[in-house]
Amino acid sequence: MPPRRYQDTLFTEEQVKVLDMRAKGMNVDEIAKKLGISRTSVYSVLRSALTIVRKARNTLNLYAKLMKEISVSIPRNTNLNDAVNIVLKEADLHNVRLQLRSSEIVLFIIRNVPLECIDMNRLRLLCDISLIVSYDGLLKNVIVSE
């Protein structure tokens, strides 16, 4: 039977007991005696608990990185096809794999930039813009500077 988890955590109940006793200043010998287990078992419980902490920290760091966004600046007078190249180059610099084709990037710009900021005849931007790209490769937003 697998060990019981403590509430909604990755720790077992035994790991929480041992960590709590350590936090209260008890040494390994005292913990072993109080729980009726060997010193080796106490060290093993501590080691596995610290492994959980390390993996949880790494997981949270990765999640934070994935949820961050990058801002891609595209200056006025840029052709929309050139804007796509700017976005692709910036994404590459940040190791972001875009999940959109070039045509979808152009459509995103056209749909999200005010009409007065696009010369539709020459397919050029009339305003400076910044595209917000998530680390999971999606376009999130457009910020327009006139």
User: Is 61 in the same domain as 46?
Assistant: yes
Q: Determine, yes or no, domain membership for 4.
A: no
User: Is 103 in the same domain as 115?
Assistant: yes
Cβ–Cβ < 8 Å for 12, 5: yes
User: Is 43 in the same domain as 57?
Assistant: yes
Q: Determine, yes or no, domain membership for 3.
A: no
Q: Which residue has the higher pLDDT, 8 or 76?
A: 76
For the residues 90-101, what does the mean pLDDT come to? 91
Q: Determine, yes or no, domain membership for 111.
A: yes
Q: Which residue has the higher pLDDT, 142 or 145?
A: 142
User: Is 132 in the same domain as 89?
Assistant: yes
For the residues 103-129, what does the mean pLDDT come to? 95
Q: What is the structure's pLDDT at 64? A: 63
User: Is 43 in the same domain as 77?
Assistant: no
User: Is 56 in the same domain as 116?
Assistant: no
Q: Determine, yes or no, domain membership for 8.
A: no
Q: Which residue has the higher pLDDT, 134 or 2?
A: 134
CATH number, domain of 35, equals: 1.10.10
Q: What is the structure's pLDDT at 24? A: 96
- pLDDT averaged over the chain? 91
Instruction: Supply the range of the domain harboring residue 76.
Output: 68-145
User: Is 25 in the same domain as 58?
Assistant: yes
Quick check: 146 pLDDT over 60?
A: no
User: Is 72 in the same domain as 134?
Assistant: yes
Distance CA 123, CA 125 (A): 7
**Per DSSP, which regions of the chain are E strands?**
69-74, 118-119, 124-125, 128-134, 139-145
Task: Assign 19 a pLDDT band (cuts: 50, 70, 90).
Answer: very high
Q: What is the structure's pLDDT at 30? A: 97
Question: Into how many domains does the chain fold?
Answer: 2
Q: Is the pTM of this model over 0.75?
A: no
